[in-house]
Copies of this chain bind each other. A is one copy, B any other.
Amino acid sequence: MKKYEMIAEEIASAIQQGLLKRGDKLPSIRHIQASKQVNASTVFQAYYLLEARGLIVTRPRSGYYVAGPLRSERLLPQAAHNASHPTKLQVSDLVFTLLERIKDPQQIPFGSAFPSPSLFPLARLADHMASTVRRMQPQLTVSDIGQGDVELRRQIALRYQLDGKPTDPHEIVVTNGAMEALNLCLAAVTQPGDSVIIESPSFYAALQAIERMGLKAIEVPSDPELGIDLVALEQAILQHHPKACWLMTNFQNPTGSLMPEPKKQALVALITRHRLPLIEDDVYRELYFGKQRPLPAKTWDNDGWVMHCSSFSKSLAPGYRVGWVSAGRFSETITRLKLSTTLATSIPAQLALASYLAKGGYDKHLRQLRHQLMLQQLQFTQAIHQSFPAEVRYTLPQGGYFLWLQLPGHQDSLGLFQQAIQHNISLAPGHLFSSQQQYAGYVRLNYGHPLNAEHRQAIETLGQWMQ
Protein backbone atom coordinates (compact mmCIF):
# COMPACT_ATOMS: atom_id res chain seq x y z
CA MET A 1 0.00 0.00 0.00
CA LYS A 2 1.39 3.38 -1.01
CA LYS A 3 1.71 6.21 1.48
CA TYR A 4 -1.18 8.24 0.04
CA GLU A 5 -3.36 5.12 0.12
CA MET A 6 -2.55 4.60 3.77
CA ILE A 7 -3.54 8.15 4.59
CA ALA A 8 -6.76 7.77 2.61
CA GLU A 9 -7.54 4.48 4.33
CA GLU A 10 -7.03 6.04 7.74
CA ILE A 11 -9.47 8.83 7.00
CA ALA A 12 -11.94 6.44 5.39
CA SER A 13 -12.06 4.28 8.49
CA ALA A 14 -12.43 7.34 10.71
CA ILE A 15 -15.53 8.15 8.61
CA GLN A 16 -16.82 4.60 8.78
CA GLN A 17 -16.37 4.52 12.55
CA GLY A 18 -18.21 7.78 12.90
CA LEU A 19 -15.19 9.64 14.30
CA LEU A 20 -15.53 11.94 11.34
CA LYS A 21 -19.18 12.72 10.62
CA ARG A 22 -20.87 13.82 7.46
CA GLY A 23 -20.23 17.50 6.95
CA ASP A 24 -17.18 17.60 9.20
CA LYS A 25 -14.32 19.62 7.82
CA LEU A 26 -11.17 17.60 7.16
CA PRO A 27 -7.76 18.75 8.39
CA SER A 28 -6.01 21.08 5.96
CA ILE A 29 -3.43 19.77 3.51
CA ARG A 30 -0.77 21.67 5.40
CA HIS A 31 -1.78 20.12 8.72
CA ILE A 32 -1.59 16.55 7.44
CA GLN A 33 1.61 17.30 5.60
CA ALA A 34 3.18 18.32 8.89
CA SER A 35 1.71 15.63 11.12
CA LYS A 36 2.46 12.77 8.75
CA GLN A 37 5.76 14.12 7.52
CA VAL A 38 4.84 13.74 3.86
CA ASN A 39 4.85 16.23 1.06
CA ALA A 40 1.77 18.11 -0.09
CA SER A 41 1.23 16.06 -3.28
CA THR A 42 0.88 12.88 -1.23
CA VAL A 43 -1.92 14.47 0.80
CA PHE A 44 -3.55 15.78 -2.38
CA GLN A 45 -3.41 12.27 -3.83
CA ALA A 46 -5.04 10.86 -0.69
CA TYR A 47 -7.83 13.46 -0.77
CA TYR A 48 -8.28 12.95 -4.48
CA LEU A 49 -8.72 9.22 -3.88
CA LEU A 50 -11.25 9.83 -1.11
CA GLU A 51 -13.14 12.24 -3.33
CA ALA A 52 -13.17 9.71 -6.18
CA ARG A 53 -14.61 7.15 -3.77
CA GLY A 54 -17.34 9.63 -2.88
CA LEU A 55 -16.29 9.85 0.75
CA ILE A 56 -15.36 13.52 0.79
CA VAL A 57 -16.25 16.62 -1.20
CA THR A 58 -14.42 19.87 -1.97
CA ARG A 59 -16.11 23.16 -1.25
CA PRO A 60 -14.44 25.89 -3.27
CA ARG A 61 -12.42 28.30 -1.17
CA SER A 62 -13.36 26.41 1.99
CA GLY A 63 -11.64 23.04 1.99
CA TYR A 64 -12.51 19.36 2.19
CA TYR A 65 -15.56 17.95 3.96
CA VAL A 66 -16.92 14.52 4.76
CA ALA A 67 -19.50 13.89 2.05
CA GLY A 68 -23.25 13.90 2.59
CA PRO A 69 -25.63 16.46 3.98
CA LEU A 70 -24.71 18.10 7.25
CA ARG A 71 -26.21 16.11 10.07
CA SER A 72 -27.53 19.25 11.70
CA GLU A 73 -29.39 20.14 8.52
CA ARG A 74 -31.20 16.85 8.36
CA LEU A 75 -34.49 16.15 10.11
CA LEU A 76 -35.39 12.63 11.19
CA PRO A 77 -38.72 11.17 10.15
CA GLN A 78 -41.13 10.77 13.03
CA ALA A 79 -41.92 7.52 14.79
CA ALA A 80 -45.41 6.26 15.62
CA HIS A 81 -46.62 7.28 19.07
CA ASN A 82 -48.77 4.45 20.30
CA ALA A 83 -49.09 0.72 19.86
CA SER A 84 -52.18 -0.30 17.92
CA HIS A 85 -54.82 -2.63 19.27
CA PRO A 86 -54.83 -6.15 17.80
CA THR A 87 -56.21 -5.69 14.32
CA LYS A 88 -57.30 -8.07 11.60
CA LEU A 89 -55.53 -6.90 8.48
CA GLN A 90 -56.74 -6.17 4.99
CA VAL A 91 -53.71 -4.71 3.32
CA SER A 92 -52.73 -7.39 0.84
CA ASP A 93 -54.73 -6.06 -2.10
CA LEU A 94 -53.09 -2.67 -1.82
CA VAL A 95 -49.65 -4.21 -1.38
CA PHE A 96 -50.01 -6.51 -4.38
CA THR A 97 -51.44 -3.77 -6.57
CA LEU A 98 -48.60 -1.40 -5.73
CA LEU A 99 -45.92 -4.07 -6.07
CA GLU A 100 -47.38 -5.09 -9.42
CA ARG A 101 -46.99 -1.51 -10.64
CA ILE A 102 -43.35 -1.14 -9.68
CA LYS A 103 -41.94 -4.29 -11.21
CA ASP A 104 -41.32 -2.97 -14.72
CA PRO A 105 -37.53 -3.26 -15.26
CA GLN A 106 -37.62 -0.07 -17.35
CA GLN A 107 -38.57 2.03 -14.32
CA ILE A 108 -36.15 4.02 -12.20
CA PRO A 109 -36.11 1.50 -9.35
CA PHE A 110 -36.39 3.74 -6.26
CA GLY A 111 -39.42 1.67 -5.18
CA SER A 112 -37.73 -1.69 -5.64
CA ALA A 113 -37.20 -4.06 -2.72
CA PHE A 114 -33.97 -5.35 -4.25
CA PRO A 115 -30.52 -3.94 -4.81
CA SER A 116 -29.06 -4.00 -8.31
CA PRO A 117 -28.30 -7.62 -9.33
CA SER A 118 -25.09 -6.27 -10.89
CA LEU A 119 -23.63 -5.96 -7.38
CA PHE A 120 -23.32 -9.73 -6.89
CA PRO A 121 -20.63 -12.23 -7.96
CA LEU A 122 -23.04 -14.21 -10.13
CA ALA A 123 -20.29 -15.43 -12.47
CA ARG A 124 -18.21 -16.87 -9.65
CA LEU A 125 -21.28 -18.44 -8.10
CA ALA A 126 -22.09 -19.98 -11.47
CA ASP A 127 -18.65 -21.61 -11.49
CA HIS A 128 -19.27 -23.10 -8.07
CA MET A 129 -22.70 -24.28 -9.14
CA ALA A 130 -21.39 -25.81 -12.36
CA SER A 131 -18.72 -27.81 -10.61
CA THR A 132 -20.78 -28.90 -7.60
CA VAL A 133 -23.86 -29.93 -9.57
CA ARG A 134 -21.68 -32.11 -11.79
CA ARG A 135 -20.34 -33.89 -8.72
CA MET A 136 -23.70 -34.04 -6.93
CA GLN A 137 -24.32 -37.41 -5.25
CA PRO A 138 -27.75 -38.65 -6.42
CA GLN A 139 -28.47 -39.76 -2.85
CA LEU A 140 -28.46 -36.10 -1.72
CA THR A 141 -31.75 -35.63 -3.54
CA VAL A 142 -33.25 -37.75 -0.77
CA SER A 143 -31.01 -37.03 2.22
CA ASP A 144 -31.09 -33.22 1.86
CA ILE A 145 -34.87 -33.18 2.22
CA GLY A 146 -36.23 -31.32 5.23
CA GLN A 147 -33.51 -29.51 7.15
CA GLY A 148 -31.27 -29.06 4.14
CA ASP A 149 -27.74 -29.85 3.04
CA VAL A 150 -25.39 -30.84 5.87
CA GLU A 151 -22.40 -28.97 4.46
CA LEU A 152 -24.36 -25.76 3.87
CA ARG A 153 -25.73 -25.89 7.41
CA ARG A 154 -22.20 -26.37 8.69
CA GLN A 155 -21.02 -23.31 6.75
CA ILE A 156 -23.88 -21.23 8.12
CA ALA A 157 -23.14 -22.44 11.65
CA LEU A 158 -19.49 -21.41 11.17
CA ARG A 159 -20.56 -17.85 10.46
CA TYR A 160 -22.54 -17.74 13.69
CA GLN A 161 -19.43 -19.04 15.42
CA LEU A 162 -17.38 -16.18 13.91
CA ASP A 163 -19.74 -13.79 15.67
CA GLY A 164 -19.18 -15.56 18.95
CA LYS A 165 -22.43 -17.52 18.93
CA PRO A 166 -21.66 -21.25 18.75
CA THR A 167 -24.53 -22.84 16.84
CA ASP A 168 -25.39 -26.48 16.32
CA PRO A 169 -26.08 -27.14 12.59
CA HIS A 170 -29.07 -29.19 13.78
CA GLU A 171 -30.70 -25.98 14.92
CA ILE A 172 -30.59 -24.64 11.36
CA VAL A 173 -33.27 -25.27 8.73
CA VAL A 174 -32.45 -24.24 5.16
CA THR A 175 -35.37 -22.54 3.42
CA ASN A 176 -36.47 -21.06 0.10
CA GLY A 177 -35.17 -17.63 1.00
CA ALA A 178 -35.76 -15.77 4.26
CA MET A 179 -39.37 -15.27 3.20
CA GLU A 180 -40.13 -18.96 3.69
CA ALA A 181 -38.17 -19.02 6.94
CA LEU A 182 -40.22 -16.14 8.36
CA ASN A 183 -43.50 -17.72 7.29
CA LEU A 184 -42.57 -21.09 8.76
CA CYS A 185 -41.61 -19.42 12.05
CA LEU A 186 -44.91 -17.60 12.25
CA ALA A 187 -46.85 -20.76 11.43
CA ALA A 188 -44.85 -22.70 14.04
CA VAL A 189 -46.00 -20.58 16.97
CA THR A 190 -49.46 -19.25 16.07
CA GLN A 191 -53.02 -20.37 15.44
CA PRO A 192 -55.64 -18.37 13.51
CA GLY A 193 -57.02 -15.63 15.75
CA ASP A 194 -53.78 -15.13 17.70
CA SER A 195 -52.12 -11.74 17.98
CA VAL A 196 -48.62 -10.99 16.75
CA ILE A 197 -46.46 -7.97 17.51
CA ILE A 198 -44.83 -6.22 14.59
CA GLU A 199 -43.07 -2.89 14.24
CA SER A 200 -44.61 0.35 13.10
CA PRO A 201 -43.62 0.86 10.34
CA SER A 202 -42.90 -2.72 9.36
CA PHE A 203 -41.93 -4.77 6.31
CA TYR A 204 -45.08 -5.50 4.31
CA ALA A 205 -44.35 -9.24 4.16
CA ALA A 206 -45.13 -9.35 7.88
CA LEU A 207 -48.48 -7.65 7.26
CA GLN A 208 -49.25 -10.07 4.42
CA ALA A 209 -48.34 -13.16 6.44
CA ILE A 210 -50.48 -12.04 9.37
CA GLU A 211 -53.44 -11.38 7.09
CA ARG A 212 -53.04 -14.65 5.23
CA MET A 213 -52.84 -16.74 8.39
CA GLY A 214 -55.89 -15.14 9.97
CA LEU A 215 -53.86 -13.52 12.76
CA LYS A 216 -54.15 -10.09 14.32
CA ALA A 217 -51.39 -7.49 14.24
CA ILE A 218 -50.30 -5.28 17.12
CA GLU A 219 -48.16 -2.51 15.66
CA VAL A 220 -45.63 -1.21 18.18
CA PRO A 221 -43.77 2.06 17.51
CA SER A 222 -40.29 1.65 16.11
CA ASP A 223 -37.79 4.48 16.14
CA PRO A 224 -36.24 5.21 12.72
CA GLU A 225 -32.78 5.06 14.26
CA LEU A 226 -33.03 2.74 17.27
CA GLY A 227 -35.73 0.22 16.41
CA ILE A 228 -38.76 -0.99 18.38
CA ASP A 229 -39.80 0.79 21.57
CA LEU A 230 -39.19 -1.72 24.35
CA VAL A 231 -41.51 -0.04 26.84
CA ALA A 232 -44.39 -0.08 24.37
CA LEU A 233 -43.44 -3.65 23.49
CA GLU A 234 -43.72 -4.83 27.08
CA GLN A 235 -47.01 -3.01 27.56
CA ALA A 236 -48.40 -4.67 24.46
CA ILE A 237 -47.24 -8.08 25.70
CA LEU A 238 -48.90 -7.58 29.07
CA GLN A 239 -52.08 -6.20 27.60
CA HIS A 240 -52.67 -8.46 24.60
CA HIS A 241 -50.80 -11.74 25.24
CA PRO A 242 -49.39 -12.04 21.73
CA LYS A 243 -48.05 -15.38 20.49
CA ALA A 244 -45.06 -14.00 18.60
CA CYS A 245 -43.08 -10.87 17.88
CA TRP A 246 -41.65 -10.31 14.38
CA LEU A 247 -39.10 -7.57 13.91
CA MET A 248 -35.83 -6.51 12.29
CA THR A 249 -32.92 -5.55 14.48
CA ASN A 250 -30.38 -4.62 11.81
CA PHE A 251 -31.14 -2.06 9.07
CA GLN A 252 -34.86 -2.43 9.36
CA ASN A 253 -37.05 -2.33 6.28
CA PRO A 254 -38.26 0.39 5.70
CA THR A 255 -36.53 2.71 8.21
CA GLY A 256 -32.99 1.35 8.18
CA SER A 257 -32.87 1.53 11.99
CA LEU A 258 -30.07 -0.33 13.75
CA MET A 259 -30.88 -1.47 17.26
CA PRO A 260 -27.93 -0.83 19.61
CA GLU A 261 -26.42 -3.89 21.23
CA PRO A 262 -27.51 -3.20 24.80
CA LYS A 263 -31.05 -2.76 23.49
CA LYS A 264 -30.85 -6.11 21.70
CA GLN A 265 -29.76 -7.71 24.94
CA ALA A 266 -32.66 -6.08 26.77
CA LEU A 267 -35.03 -7.22 24.02
CA VAL A 268 -33.97 -10.85 24.39
CA ALA A 269 -34.24 -10.64 28.18
CA LEU A 270 -37.73 -9.18 27.79
CA ILE A 271 -39.12 -11.77 25.39
CA THR A 272 -37.48 -14.60 27.35
CA ARG A 273 -39.08 -13.36 30.56
CA HIS A 274 -42.46 -13.45 28.83
CA ARG A 275 -41.71 -16.69 26.96
CA LEU A 276 -42.62 -14.87 23.77
CA PRO A 277 -41.16 -16.34 20.55
CA LEU A 278 -39.15 -13.70 18.69
CA ILE A 279 -38.92 -13.95 14.90
CA GLU A 280 -35.81 -11.96 14.05
CA ASP A 281 -35.72 -10.98 10.39
CA ASP A 282 -32.06 -10.23 9.73
CA VAL A 283 -31.51 -10.22 5.97
CA TYR A 284 -29.54 -6.97 5.76
CA ARG A 285 -26.99 -7.57 8.49
CA GLU A 286 -24.02 -8.15 6.17
CA LEU A 287 -24.64 -4.76 4.56
CA TYR A 288 -23.22 -2.66 7.43
CA PHE A 289 -21.20 0.48 6.76
CA GLY A 290 -19.54 0.64 10.15
CA LYS A 291 -16.42 -1.09 11.32
CA GLN A 292 -18.04 -4.21 12.69
CA ARG A 293 -20.80 -6.52 11.61
CA PRO A 294 -23.71 -5.82 13.96
CA LEU A 295 -24.73 -8.83 16.02
CA PRO A 296 -28.24 -10.26 15.88
CA ALA A 297 -30.40 -10.33 19.01
CA LYS A 298 -30.05 -14.12 18.70
CA THR A 299 -26.51 -13.72 20.05
CA TRP A 300 -27.92 -13.25 23.56
CA ASP A 301 -30.55 -15.98 23.28
CA ASN A 302 -29.65 -18.76 25.68
CA ASP A 303 -33.12 -20.24 26.05
CA GLY A 304 -33.97 -20.72 22.38
CA TRP A 305 -36.86 -18.25 22.13
CA VAL A 306 -35.32 -16.40 19.18
CA MET A 307 -35.79 -17.71 15.63
CA HIS A 308 -33.10 -15.97 13.61
CA CYS A 309 -34.00 -15.78 9.91
CA SER A 310 -31.68 -14.71 7.15
CA SER A 311 -30.71 -15.49 3.57
CA PHE A 312 -28.11 -15.05 0.86
CA SER A 313 -30.52 -13.17 -1.41
CA LYS A 314 -29.46 -9.67 -0.36
CA SER A 315 -25.80 -10.33 0.31
CA LEU A 316 -24.60 -12.86 -2.24
CA ALA A 317 -26.94 -14.86 -4.44
CA PRO A 318 -30.19 -13.20 -5.54
CA GLY A 319 -32.42 -15.66 -7.37
CA TYR A 320 -30.89 -18.76 -5.82
CA ARG A 321 -33.59 -18.62 -3.15
CA VAL A 322 -31.59 -19.95 -0.26
CA GLY A 323 -32.28 -18.72 3.24
CA TRP A 324 -32.33 -20.29 6.67
CA VAL A 325 -33.57 -20.06 10.18
CA SER A 326 -31.59 -20.82 13.31
CA ALA A 327 -34.69 -21.82 15.18
CA GLY A 328 -33.72 -22.53 18.77
CA ARG A 329 -36.35 -24.55 20.57
CA PHE A 330 -38.59 -24.49 17.51
CA SER A 331 -36.27 -26.24 15.08
CA GLU A 332 -38.07 -29.59 15.07
CA THR A 333 -41.47 -27.98 14.60
CA ILE A 334 -40.11 -25.90 11.75
CA THR A 335 -38.43 -28.86 10.08
CA ARG A 336 -41.77 -30.65 10.11
CA LEU A 337 -43.57 -27.66 8.67
CA LYS A 338 -40.95 -27.46 5.94
CA LEU A 339 -41.39 -31.18 5.20
CA SER A 340 -45.11 -30.78 4.68
CA THR A 341 -45.07 -27.50 2.74
CA THR A 342 -42.14 -27.30 0.31
CA LEU A 343 -40.29 -30.46 1.39
CA ALA A 344 -36.82 -29.24 0.44
CA THR A 345 -34.79 -26.36 -0.93
CA SER A 346 -33.25 -26.74 -4.39
CA ILE A 347 -30.20 -28.95 -3.83
CA PRO A 348 -27.94 -27.55 -6.59
CA ALA A 349 -28.40 -24.04 -5.16
CA GLN A 350 -27.50 -25.28 -1.67
CA LEU A 351 -24.40 -27.07 -2.92
CA ALA A 352 -23.24 -24.05 -4.91
CA LEU A 353 -23.54 -21.81 -1.86
CA ALA A 354 -21.85 -24.31 0.46
CA SER A 355 -18.93 -24.47 -1.96
CA TYR A 356 -18.75 -20.69 -2.41
CA LEU A 357 -18.86 -20.10 1.35
CA ALA A 358 -16.07 -22.62 1.88
CA LYS A 359 -13.70 -21.15 -0.68
CA GLY A 360 -15.28 -18.48 -2.85
CA GLY A 361 -14.18 -15.32 -1.12
CA TYR A 362 -17.45 -14.33 0.52
CA ASP A 363 -15.84 -11.80 2.86
CA LYS A 364 -13.94 -10.11 0.05
CA HIS A 365 -17.14 -9.80 -1.96
CA LEU A 366 -18.96 -8.42 1.09
CA ARG A 367 -16.33 -5.73 1.60
CA GLN A 368 -16.76 -4.58 -1.99
CA LEU A 369 -20.54 -4.74 -1.75
CA ARG A 370 -20.62 -2.71 1.48
CA HIS A 371 -18.28 -0.12 0.07
CA GLN A 372 -20.38 0.19 -3.05
CA LEU A 373 -23.65 0.54 -1.11
CA MET A 374 -22.11 3.10 1.20
CA LEU A 375 -20.92 5.09 -1.80
CA GLN A 376 -24.37 4.86 -3.35
CA GLN A 377 -25.94 6.10 -0.12
CA LEU A 378 -23.58 9.08 -0.10
CA GLN A 379 -24.31 9.90 -3.73
CA PHE A 380 -28.03 9.40 -3.27
CA THR A 381 -28.29 11.52 -0.14
CA GLN A 382 -26.18 14.25 -1.70
CA ALA A 383 -28.56 14.32 -4.65
CA ILE A 384 -31.53 14.43 -2.30
CA HIS A 385 -29.92 17.17 -0.27
CA GLN A 386 -29.52 19.25 -3.40
CA SER A 387 -32.95 18.59 -4.90
CA PHE A 388 -35.49 17.90 -2.18
CA PRO A 389 -37.09 20.66 -0.07
CA ALA A 390 -35.29 21.36 3.20
CA GLU A 391 -38.29 20.23 5.25
CA VAL A 392 -38.02 16.66 3.94
CA ARG A 393 -37.04 14.34 6.79
CA TYR A 394 -35.12 11.17 6.16
CA THR A 395 -32.96 8.53 7.79
CA LEU A 396 -29.28 7.96 7.10
CA PRO A 397 -29.04 4.26 7.87
CA GLN A 398 -25.71 2.74 8.81
CA GLY A 399 -26.30 -0.13 6.41
CA GLY A 400 -28.70 -1.69 3.91
CA TYR A 401 -30.05 0.20 0.90
CA PHE A 402 -33.24 1.94 1.99
CA LEU A 403 -33.98 5.51 3.07
CA TRP A 404 -37.20 6.22 4.96
CA LEU A 405 -38.37 9.67 4.04
CA GLN A 406 -41.13 11.93 5.33
CA LEU A 407 -42.62 14.32 2.79
CA PRO A 408 -43.00 17.98 3.67
CA GLY A 409 -46.34 19.42 4.77
CA HIS A 410 -49.27 17.07 4.42
CA GLN A 411 -48.34 15.55 1.07
CA ASP A 412 -49.70 12.05 0.48
CA SER A 413 -47.15 9.63 -0.92
CA LEU A 414 -49.80 7.88 -3.03
CA GLY A 415 -50.20 11.11 -5.02
CA LEU A 416 -46.46 11.29 -5.52
CA PHE A 417 -46.44 7.59 -6.40
CA GLN A 418 -49.08 8.07 -9.12
CA GLN A 419 -47.27 11.07 -10.56
CA ALA A 420 -43.89 9.34 -10.46
CA ILE A 421 -45.07 6.08 -11.99
CA GLN A 422 -46.34 7.98 -15.01
CA HIS A 423 -42.80 9.25 -15.47
CA ASN A 424 -41.43 5.75 -15.03
CA ILE A 425 -40.06 6.43 -11.56
CA SER A 426 -41.02 3.91 -8.91
CA LEU A 427 -41.12 4.49 -5.18
CA ALA A 428 -42.62 2.63 -2.24
CA PRO A 429 -45.39 4.68 -0.57
CA GLY A 430 -45.64 4.56 3.22
CA HIS A 431 -49.07 2.93 2.99
CA LEU A 432 -47.26 -0.37 2.34
CA PHE A 433 -45.71 -0.48 5.78
CA SER A 434 -48.60 -0.29 8.21
CA SER A 435 -52.29 -1.05 8.46
CA GLN A 436 -52.84 2.11 10.50
CA GLN A 437 -52.69 4.76 7.75
CA GLN A 438 -50.12 6.72 9.69
CA TYR A 439 -47.42 6.70 7.04
CA ALA A 440 -49.37 8.31 4.22
CA GLY A 441 -46.77 11.05 4.17
CA TYR A 442 -43.77 8.73 3.92
CA VAL A 443 -41.90 6.94 1.16
CA ARG A 444 -39.19 4.29 1.14
CA LEU A 445 -36.44 4.98 -1.39
CA ASN A 446 -34.01 2.34 -2.64
CA TYR A 447 -30.42 3.45 -3.20
CA GLY A 448 -29.27 -0.08 -4.05
CA HIS A 449 -28.63 0.78 -7.70
CA PRO A 450 -25.59 2.71 -8.95
CA LEU A 451 -26.69 6.31 -9.39
CA ASN A 452 -26.59 7.29 -13.05
CA ALA A 453 -27.56 10.51 -14.81
CA GLU A 454 -31.10 9.29 -15.32
CA HIS A 455 -31.44 8.52 -11.63
CA ARG A 456 -30.10 11.96 -10.71
CA GLN A 457 -32.60 13.52 -13.08
CA ALA A 458 -35.38 11.48 -11.43
CA ILE A 459 -34.37 12.74 -7.99
CA GLU A 460 -34.47 16.30 -9.27
CA THR A 461 -37.91 15.73 -10.75
CA LEU A 462 -39.22 14.22 -7.50
CA GLY A 463 -37.80 17.23 -5.65
CA GLN A 464 -39.66 19.64 -7.92
CA TRP A 465 -42.95 17.84 -7.30
CA MET A 466 -42.40 18.01 -3.56
CA GLN A 467 -42.02 21.79 -3.60
Contact status of A340 and B212, CB under 8 A, knowing A117-B139, A346-B349, A347-B321? yes
Residue A399 lies at the interface, judged by CB distance under 8 Å to chain B: no
| A334–B38 alpha-carbon span in the complex (Å) | 66
| A129–B145 alpha-carbon span in the complex (Å) | 20
Chain A residues touching B, majority SS: helix
The answer, among B96, B136, B318, B349, for a CB contact under 8 Å with A141, is: B318
Contact B138 A117 (CB under 8 A): yes
Residue A451 lies at the interface, judged by CB distance under 8 Å to chain B: no
The answer, among B142, B192, B214, B346, for a CB contact under 8 Å with A114, is: B142
Contact status of A180 and B342, CB under 8 A, knowing A129-B129, A141-B318? yes
Residue A143 lies at the interface, judged by CB distance under 8 Å to chain B: yes
* Residues of B close to A205: CB separation below 8 A: 340
Residue A49 lies at the interface, judged by CB distance under 8 Å to chain B: no
Classify chain A: how many residues form its interface, as a range. Answer: 35 or more
| A352–B347 alpha-carbon span in the complex (Å) | 13
Q: How many copies does the complex hold?
A: 2
Residue A366 lies at the interface, judged by CB distance under 8 Å to chain B: no
Segment of A120-128, A153-161, A256-264 engaged in the interface with chain B: A120-128
Output the nearest chain B residue to A319 by Cβ-Cβ distance: B141
The answer, among B130, B141, B342, for a CB contact under 8 Å with A130, is: B130
Residue A134 lies at the interface, judged by CB distance under 8 Å to chain B: yes
Contact status of A348 and B336, CB under 8 A, knowing A117-B139, A117-B142, A139-B117? no
Contact A96 B339 (CB under 8 A): yes
Contact B341 A321 (CB under 8 A): no
